[in-house]
Structure 1
């Protein structure tokens, strides 16, 4: 696959950081800073790197001047000055091993590092505000300044998360046999991340794997937990572990790493040759199948499974169907059906709405369902809707 100029720029940065032994945290901030600058530039900037004396020097030559105010807004500050040439110096380890750079894995590592950094900064701000609140009125001016800094921090977090949205929510994989579409809506407009995440990719045997996760909680902690689950399941799936074993195996793996993590999980496998779909469900809302003839069905397992962090985690029994041409499968998180605080009523409304919208293009169905289901919102929650339709055979 041909990389875009910005993707090639990130790849070169990661190669230089790997060869010099730069930490993941420093690499994440550097890659994000260079990406923000490159996206604003009219032409691709020039990049050069040099390692020596325990430091990695990274120089970026842009087509226009970059003011100090713009530099100060970057997640990793370059050397001071107003010019079109920016330089960063990062601590390096000379004896670091040179290994091939996997951009997808590197992006996930950088996301985890940035989210953890944001989480730490938020906690430090909260503790500082609490300490100031216990002091006398003589620190009122300092408190006001802290509030302003806190607002700037929230804005900076929003910029970081917007830049990470593409990586957190990957575009649909290209599969000739299926049309795939997704809609995501956060519970709060100014907080573009939450605990609802999805992942989809094509396995070496040609089948399509889809993971849908709803981590318990809100904010960056739930985002980190959901990302941890999707990454663990992707790794296990690519290692060849069978579908029926993935949820329980991921739960066992994560129990010692993230003991407080709880998440519902839904896994789906699509065979582009036969149209077979197999679903593994761990405490997640049940998928909806709408046939080309307009019949609807909830895919209910005979043995109910439990999610990660729940007692006896696993998927229970698998549910299998064969999609005919035109059949529509809907996967979603509970934010879609619980906006009125009644899950059963929400399922009934979803079945009726799915029948009404099934004739529309696949790309518009997820957003149309979310709009109709959220006509009344008594309980706001993150919402993901994935639509899968089997295409007619060529």
Structure 2
């Protein structure tokens, strides 16, 4: 198939009634804000550093998310709630302060250079349900038999392209006037690859497509009948098309949501008797099972990809809890999708020789460390967003943090090095928060370092709840290249329980769009008796009840640990 160009989804940026630029959406996410390193930088004091994000989902659709901006993001005049995605479609207007971004869906452009964008449609069909098409056919029994033959050809466990080729073989028999036939699929990146091609006279060059035909079929969702290209004035300057076809039938291949996911075309280089209206009805009916086969294949591939990603992510999670005498650990990890952008870890800190010259490593002579003690570091990280892109970034960051912690680097140096490497990678469009809590079980001390993550909580044995804040805690990872981080130390007494959590807990919303909130979380922790497991289970149960009737919008991770309570003295 000959392509002239492919155009993905775009944002038309309009200000004061004038289009300033057109932004093509590439990759999975586009951030908009005042920060100089986001995808679209808006130099306006009312625009937040990270104002909004445009996300491309696994199915090729797009949505916009407000990143808790100060002056809101509006979609077609409706104010978005922070971190609650809104789907966008052709013509959707996203307003940020006094900038308007008009969303345009992706389209594939094909055909010879210089083709005018004018309709070449002499016949069209909008009602493409297979039942109605078969009923309208001049020979409904023959039409139904043809549909069943195509369904059988699409069956089996072979490769999709092989099944489409078999279906085309059947179509060439159904339409004896046809010289050629092909199936092409519309991909999320805007391309239109040829998946199957058949020529009645044996091998031939790939077809040349008209941009106008593709526009009508894929964007308009219409089945088309072109009776004779030579007698249509609109084709007179399109030599590449006129030289390759004389008459043609085209139909969209639809997905589950009714949107075109590809197209099928049957054409002839000679007119003979030409295709008729009933031929168009029949091809449109045959396109229904072909579209279903393509959609099902995509779902299978997608499910396999998500399953593999989940397996990889689960392998990154710790396989067991630390075994520290007198301490108990509990955790819960629930991604919003198959995989997520949260990740926690338990890492044993190795001691090493004092002669090591690396200034970032902490030696056994450090007053907060005991040469005979085994220290453990509990980490919890959260990438902005969720799903596959967030999971990929977290899979990149966490192994580095694990290596640095295990090698004996201080928590503040771990954050500084991971931040620098992440910043230099050029992936700052998604910032990452992370908290490190290093436990010294011999001294019963906790050292906390934080990079923009919600502060951990500690419930003291008497029930008082404190936030373990770090004065001078640095920004999220990836925001500032040479950010510095400071840690804070805390004592752990018997019965104390520490709670680390991601914002999927505090930001969980109910049917009235009310967030669970940190204040409610603190109150719950303070009212819960028992150790780490009891506190963790109580949080999980209440948050789950809070979200009844609402889908989980963000990844949810909770890690609790603490010292066992002292046994009461005999006779007490």
List alignment gaps of at least 5 residues for structure 2: 1-156, 159-185, 194-213, 224-250, 254-286, 352-373, 568-572
**In structure 2, which of residues 391, 394, 405 is the aligned counterpart of residue 226 of structure 1?**
394
Q: Specify the alignment match of 1:390 in structure 2.
A: 563
State whether residues 378 and 438 of structure 2, in contact with CA within 8 Å, keep that contact through their aligned partners in structure 1. Answer: yes
Does structure 2 retain, via aligned residues, the 8 Å contact 1:289–1:328? yes
Q: TM-score normalised to the size of structure 2?
A: 0.43
Q: Call closer, same or farther: CA 1:151–1:384 in 2, change over 3 Å.
A: same
SS of alignment partner, residue 506 of structure 2 = coil
Q: Between 141-150 and 162-171, report the one with greater CA deviation.
A: 162-171
1:154 Cα deviation after fit: 2.8
Which residue number in structure 1 is paired with residue 189 of structure 2?
Answer: 127
Give the deviation of 1:393 after TM superposition: 7.8
SS of 1:152's partner is: helix
Work out the CA distance in 1 between the residues paired with 2:192 and 2:541. Answer: 40
Over 3 Å counting, the alpha-carbon distance change for 1:324 and 1:229 in structure 2 is: same
Distance (whole Å) between structure 1 residues aligned to residue 384 and residue 302 of structure 2: 22
Q: Does 2:403 correspond to 1:235?
A: yes
Q: Structure 1 stretches of 5 or more lacking a match?
A: 1-71, 74-123
Number of the residue aligned with 1:149: 297
Q: Shift of the alpha carbon at 1:228?
A: 1.4
The Cα shift of 1:364 comes to 4.3
Q: CA deviation at 1:272?
A: 1.1
Whether the 8 Å contact between 1:306 and 1:313 is mirrored in structure 2 is: no
SS at match of 1:126: coil
CA shift for structure 1 position 313: 6.1
In structure 1, the residue matched to 2:330 is: 181
State how far apart, in whole Å, the 1-side matches of 2:522 and 2:341 are.
25
User: Closer, same or farther in 2 for the Cα pair 1:289/1:314, shift >3 Å?
Assistant: farther
CA-CA distance at 1:129 after TM superposition: 8.3
Cα distance in 2 for residues equivalent to 1:160 and 1:313: 35
Matched, 1:368 2:430: no
Larger Rg: 2
Q: Whose helix fraction is larger, Structure 1's or Structure 2's?
A: 1
Q: CA deviation at 1:136?
A: 5.7
Alignment map for 1:69-108 (pairs within 5 Å) = none
Shift of 1:306: 0.8
Taking CA–CA contacts closer than 8 Å with sequence separation of 6 or more, which of the two structures ends up with the larger relative contact order? Answer: 1
Q: Secondary structure at the match of 1:176?
A: coil
Q: Distance in 2 between matches of 1:281 and 1:225?
A: 19
TM-score w.r.t. the length of structure 1 is 0.61
1:209 aligns with 377
CA distance in 2, matches of 1:215, 1:313: 19
Offset of residue 314 of structure 1? 4.2
Cα 1:329–1:314 change in 2 (3 A) is farther
Determine which structure has the larger strand proportion and give its number: 2
- CA RMSD in angstroms comes to 2.9
Distance 2:542 2:522 in 1: 12
Provide closer, same or farther for how the CA distance between residues 386 and 200 of structure 1 changes in structure 2, counting only shifts above 3 A.
Answer: same
Q: CA offset at residue 382 of structure 1?
A: 0.6
Q: Deviations over 1:299-329 (max 9, x none)?
A: 1222232111123664643121110111100
Aligned residues: 268
Residue 130 of structure 1, CA deviation: 7.5
- Separation in 2, partners of 1:157, 1:357: 40
Would you say the 8 A contact 2:349–2:376 is kept in 1? yes
Q: For residues 522 and 301 of structure 2, what CA distance do their matches in structure 1 show? A: 42
Question: Which residue, out of 440, 445, 448, partners 1:271?
Answer: 440
Q: Is the 8 A contact 1:251 1:308 kept in 2?
A: yes
Contact 2:326 2:563 (C-alpha < 8 Å) held by counterparts: yes
In structure 2, how many angstroms separate the alpha carbons of the residues matched to 1:291 and 1:179? 15
| CA distance 1:308–1:293, change in 2 (3 Å) | same
